[in-house]
Every structure is written in structure tokens, then in C-alpha cells.
């Protein structure tokens, strides 16, 4: 199975400290799903500023975790919020981000016994 994530940036940032890496992974597994719920809520309510704040918050995390496609898509969500786009224009992109994060979390939990 291909890895859904890439921890090279995490290891570089941590100087290969396994405890630090584990903390980053725990934060990713617990916080990003909650942030995604907030983005979904912002999209649903057409509250572009609210959706933007959470999209902007998770953007560096997606990059750090090597979720390159999700990172590119979160940039699209940010652009959508700034343009105050229609909900139908971003729903599929958001679904894709959610799926990628869910798959990465499932794999991380398995790989790191979280």
C-alpha cells in the first residue's frame, strides 16, 4: 500500500526525535479532523471568513505531513473563500481533502499505534 503521507519534513524539523514526531502525529490525528469540521460548517453556512480561518490554520500542517494534493486543494478552498464563491463550486474539493486526511490518519494510527 502506498503511503498516504510523507514525514520527511516532520523528521527534518524534529532532528529525528521520535518523541517530537509522535507529538506532531497525535496533534494531526486529533486536531485536523476537528478543523475540517469547522471548514465544512463555514462552507455550509456560506461563512467564507470562518471557513478561511480554519483552512488557513491547517494549510501548514498538510504541507508538513506531505499531503501534497490536499495542500494544493486547501489553497483552492482559501481562494474560494476570498472570492466568496458559491458552495457548489468547492464541495467536491473539500470532500477530496477530507478523504485524503481520513486515509492518512487511518494509516498513521496503524503505523504508529496511535
Helix (H/G/I), strand (E/B), else coil: 4: coil
Is residue 59, in this structure, part of any structural domain at all?
yes
Is residue 50, in this structure, part of any structural domain at all?
yes
Helix (H/G/I), strand (E/B), else coil: 79: helix
Number of structural domains the chain divides into: 1
The CATH number linked to 49 is 1.20.120
**Helix 48-64, helix 68-83: angle, nearest 10:** 160
Q: What is the pLDDT of residue 108?
A: 96
Q: Cα–Cα distance between 90 and 51 in angstroms, integer?
A: 11
Per the structure, the complete domain to which residue 87 belongs is given by 7-112
Read off the C-alpha cell for 60.
501548514
Is residue 69, in this structure, part of any structural domain at all?
yes
Is residue 2, in this structure, part of any structural domain at all?
no
Q: What is the pLDDT of residue 3?
A: 81
Contact indicator for 7, 66 with CB cutoff of 8 Å: yes
- Its pTM stands at 0.94
Q: What is the pLDDT of residue 2?
A: 61
Average pLDDT per 10 consecutive residues for the chain, totaling 114 residues: 86 95 96 98 97 98 96 97 95 97 96 94
Q: What is the pLDDT of residue 76?
A: 98
Is residue 1, in this structure, part of any structural domain at all?
no
Is residue 40, in this structure, part of any structural domain at all?
yes
Amino acid at each position: 500500500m502506498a503511503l498516504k503521507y510523507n514525514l520527511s519534513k516532520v523528521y527534518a524539523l524534529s532532528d529525528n526525535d521520535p518523541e517530537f514526531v509522535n507529538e506532531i502525529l497525535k496533534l494531526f490525528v486529533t486536531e485536523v479532523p476537528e478543523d475540517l469540521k469547522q471548514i465544512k460548517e463555514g462552507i455550509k453556512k456560506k461563512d467564507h471568513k470562518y471557513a478561511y480561518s480554519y483552512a488557513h490554520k491547517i494549510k501548514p500542517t498538510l504541507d508538513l505531513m506531505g499531503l501534497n494534493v490536499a495542500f494544493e486543494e486547501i489553497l483552492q478552498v482559501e481562494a474560494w473563500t476570498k472570492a466568496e464563491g458559491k458552495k457548489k463550486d468547492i464541495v467536491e474539493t473539500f470532500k477530496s481533502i477530507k478523504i485524503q486526511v481520513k486515509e492518512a490518519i487511518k494509516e498513521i494510527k496503524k503505523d504508529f499505534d496511535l
